[in-house]
Structure 1
Amino acid sequence: MENVEIPEYFICPISLQIMKDPVTIVTGITYDRDSIERWLSKNPNSNAICPVTKLHVSRDSNLTPNHTLRRLIQSWCVSNGFNVVDQVLTPTKPPLSKCYILNLVLDLSVPRTENIKTLEKLEMLAKENNERNKTYMVEVGVHEALVNFLIQCYMKCDTNGLENALSTLSLIWDYFSSCHENNKVENREEILIDSITWALGLDRDMQNYAMIKNHAMSLLRSIIGKANSSTLDRLKPQLFEKIIKVLRESGSNTITIAQKGVDNALHIILNTSHSGKNRNIMIQSRAIFELIELELNFSSNKKTKELIFEILFNLCSCADGRAQLLSHAAGIAMITKRILKVSPIVDEKAIMILCLITKYSATSGVLQEMLKVKSVSKICTVIQANCASHVKDKARELLRNHFDVWKNSPCVEVATLTRYA
């Protein structure tokens, strides 16, 4: 079969593979449907160019199925034993029309019982992860319609279709943000966040409670990731209370929140914790306490642990944050135990947290606790391990600052302490 010569006109000019679904564009050139759709969607802000003729082609141009060529390819594949025939024999996918999506948007603007079916259709289009689908959806204003729908749900306390709306918005929001600037949505960012806050606070006895939480967290992470500092400074305490409540439920295993939902919640907290105002709100909501519980009880991966330690470091930059960490019976022990067990990021943040505690909150009780939970021994090990030089420098500084207190303790070898301090 390696010696079989494939007819040139069976080959897609873009993928250089046998075409499975040949379509012809306005320039008269035939391409495989998937390849030309991806090509036309590359630049959503201007017309694309035909790869062969170099002529301008509208992204909205029709893709006409070439049934004759498709049948020839099928016949040739059968005759030559090419496995690609199984895929070629599948029916030609009908082209998605922008008018079809526009009609869905118009249907959604009229309150009626069929709205759920409309939302389900939009969600299916978004889940296909097709660039052209997303382009059409943004161009006809699907994001605006869904934002309106979500706000109306919030204003009326109506949860019908809420899960579908949140899911679809979370799937297309990043694409919308990267391609378009839309003041209509930006001007309603605050009430949109209020709507998501409401969704996060819904009754946990709802049948789709966990899915709503997961989709809401995903959408909120996308919004926060693109928000300016002014928007971040105006975030309300209720939002952080709801997010921390989700972490509390995950840490206590009282409800099933997906790993992605937990990571989205942690990203939101991390991206907003650089503001002093937000840090104070988080600490008042017992964020540090819940993060420690989450780290201890939630079956998390390396990335989740890194997010937790990065947040803890930010929150421990203020006195109330350090006090809250020390108030947890396992606070220092958990920080110590994870050193040299997870990743270099966790090592760095853990040492920095211990530095902040011993520099600003070093009571006699705290220093003795660090001996009991073997923090001092672990710090000595860090200096011997293959860690970054700046992490080792911080560890040495930490030992030097409290050498006089720790040198007489039976919990640590004086020779080791003396050597590294």
Structure 2
Amino acid sequence: MEEIQVPSYFICPISLEMMKDPVTISTGITYDRENIEKGIFFEKNNTCLATKQSLTCIELTSNVTLRRLIQSWCTINASHGIERFPTPKPPVSKPQIIKLLKEAKSPKMQMKSLKRLRSIASENDANKRCMESAGATEFLASIINNSNEVFEEEDGFMSTKDEALSILYQLKLSKNGLRSLIMSGNGEFIKSLTRVMQHGSYESRAYAVMLMKDMFEVSTPTLLLSLNQEFFTQVVQVLRDEISQKATKASLQVLVHACPFGRNRVKAAEARAIRVLVDLLLDSSEKRTCELMLILLDQLCHSAEGRAELLNHPGGLAIVSKKTLRVSKVGSERAIKILHSISKFSSTPYVVQEMLSLGVVAKLCLVLQVDCGSKAKERAREILKFHAKAWRNSPCIPNNFLSQYPF
């Protein structure tokens, strides 16, 4: 078959593929809508690839003339196997969204309008940004804060709060949008999400903690220091229930963001976070999830309450030792930091003997032999030196490790 050369001005500068929905940006350059939206909204690249200019305005204008020219060329070359693509559906406009939001304020129209908003958000990223700029974020947050309306659906009952929460998460809000949620009602929205985690369906609880994870990534210490005990109790409960892998990771990330602060570590420990983490670690093998659990355990073991909880769990020390050198370099470093905290601040004679009988000491000797980072080796060596009298001549340490035992 004869090779067909696509005219260069039909090609998107980003993907080097033929454009199907050409749009022109503020610099006057035309791109394919899907590619430029991915660059702007997902990769956060506000620079024109062709001119290297910053985009002060991210409005995308459909290049109808070029699209029709491309479609005509496809039709002319149909005999060469070129398929004519259909005319793309135009993105929603801001006035359309404002009209829908106005209709949604009526109790009779609210659920219908919310379903329409969900459908619009699912179509493309331009619609999501349009909805955010039209005030959808504030409106959806107000429903989550205030509404208790419940409607019967074909597959069960659905509340307007559930629907609004799923849309809000689906919007993948910008940093400014997330900050507006944090500031709304003087922290009332965090309390609303906590109530959803306490009383909501499994799906809504997952959306609540995943949205909270996004918010915490742009939050301030002031917000994180204001979190109450009920918040930690409910996040830990979501973690315990293992609703989904996404919800589990989001719960871990939320707690990791919150627990650099001492008072929050105590609250998390009181919510039995340590017990849940150890239980989950026993069965978990997914790398990133294990890393997050070990990072969080390390944070919590900076408090006396956290160390006590770890030592009270029958498998606490054993699972930390087991995960050393088995997850990743990050995981090993965190596991050794946990053992260092225990050894330095909570090393009763019973704990020292338990570390020996569980194989922790042998694992620390192994750390000195392998490439796992200078910091990890330094901490392992310190732990072994702390308790040299109790451990050095023990028959529990394999002979091949004794040569690595530091004086």
Residue in structure 2 matched with residue 398 of structure 1 by the alignment = 383
Task: Work out which of the residue numbers 72, 90, 93 in structure 2 matches 1:94.
Answer: 90
Pairing 1:272–2:258 present: yes
Check conservation: 1:289, 1:325, Cα contact below 8 A: yes
Inter-partner Cα distance in structure 2 for 1:43 and 1:405: 54
Distance 1:272 1:41, change over 3 A: closer
What letter corresponds to residue 343 of structure 1 in structure 2?
Answer: S
DSSP 3-state at the match of 1:411: coil
Match of 1:76 in 2: 76
Kindly indicate whether the alpha-carbon contact (under 8 Å) linking 1:273 and 1:315 is maintained by their aligned counterparts in 2: yes
Out of 397-406 and 118-127, give the one that drifted further.
Answer: 118-127
Quote the Cα distance in structure 1 between the aligned partners of 2:40 and 2:269: 49
Contact 2:23 2:60 in 1 (8 A): no
Aligned to 1:253: none
Instruction: After superposition, give the CA deviation of every residue in 1:339-361 in whole Å (9 maximum; x if it has no partner).
Output: 11111111111111111111111
Structure 2-normalised TM-score? 0.85
Match of 1:221 in 2: 213
How do 1:197-212 residues align onto structure 2 when only pairs under 5 Å count? 197-202=194-199, 209-212=201-204
**Superposed, which structure 2 residues align to 1:54-69 within 5 Å?**
63=62, 65-66=64-65, 68-69=68-69
1:83-119 Cα offsets, whole Å, 9 max, x none, are xx1xx3324323422222121211222222x322322
Q: Give the residue type in structure 2 aligned to 1:144.
A: E
Aligned amino acid, residue 142 of structure 2: N
Q: CA deviation at 1:292?
A: 0.6
Change (3 A) 1:129 1:263: farther
Q: TM-score, normalised by structure 1?
A: 0.82
- Cα deviation for residue 231 of structure 1 reads 1.1
3-state DSSP class of the match of 1:227? Answer: coil
User: Equivalents in 1 of 2:306, 2:202: separation in Å?
Assistant: 30
Structure 1 regions of 5+ residues with no counterpart?
204-208, 251-256
Of 353, 358, 368, 1:373 maps to 358
* Residue of 278, 297, 312 corresponding to 2:297: 312
| 1:129 positional shift | 4.5
Closer, same or farther: CA 111–409 of 1 in aligned 2, 3 Å? same
Partner of 1:254: none
Q: Which amino acid aligns with 2:85?
A: L
* Secondary structure class of the residue paired with 2:217: helix
Other-structure match for 1:117: 112
Separation in 2, partners of 1:173, 1:391: 38
Whether 1:362 aligns to 2:318 is no
Q: In the alignment, residue 105 of structure 2 is paired with which amino acid?
A: S
1:6 aligned residue: 6
Q: 2:141, 2:70 → 1: CA distance?
A: 42
Q: Using the alignment, how far apart are the partners of 2:402 and 2:56 within structure 1?
A: 72
Contact in 2 for aligned 1:27/1:50 (Cα 8 Å): no
State the distance in 1 between where 2:363 and 2:97 align.
60
Change in Cα spacing, 1:18 to 1:111, as seen in structure 2 (3 Å) is same
Distance 1:288 1:22, change over 3 A: closer
Deviation at 1:401, TM superposition (A): 1.4
In structure 1, distance between residues paired with 2:184 and 2:361? 52
**Is the 2:178–2:215 contact (alpha carbons within 8 Å) kept by the matching residues of 1?**
no
> Counterparts of 1:304 and 1:141 in 2: how far apart (Å)?
35
Report the number of matched residues.
396
Answer whether contact 2:14 2:49 (CA < 8 A) is retained.
no
Alignment of 1:160-171 (within 5 A): 160-171=159-170
The CA deviation at 1:238 is 0.7
Instruction: Report the aligned-residue RMSD.
Output: 3.5
Is the CA contact (8 Å cut-off) linking 1:407 and 1:414 kept in structure 2?
A: no
Q: Structure 1 residues 396 and 25, CA, compared in 2 at 3 Å: closer, same or farther? A: closer
Task: Verify: 1:236 aligned to 2:233, yes or no.
Answer: no
Structure-to-structure mapping, 1:282-293, within 5 angstroms: 282-293=268-279
The alpha carbon displacement at 1:76 in A equals 2.2
**What letter matches 1:222 in structure 2?**
D
2:171 alignment partner, SS class: helix
Q: What's 1:326 paired with? A: 311
- Percent identity of paired positions between Structure 1 and Structure 2: 34
Residues 49 and 57 of structure 1 are in contact (CA less than 8 Å); yes or no, is this contact kept in structure 2? Answer: no
Superposed, 1:20-59 pairs within 5 Å as 20-21=20-21, 32-34=32-34
Q: Check whether the contact 1:119–1:164 (CA below 8 A) recurs between aligned residues.
A: yes
Inter-partner Cα distance in structure 2 for 1:119 and 1:198? 21
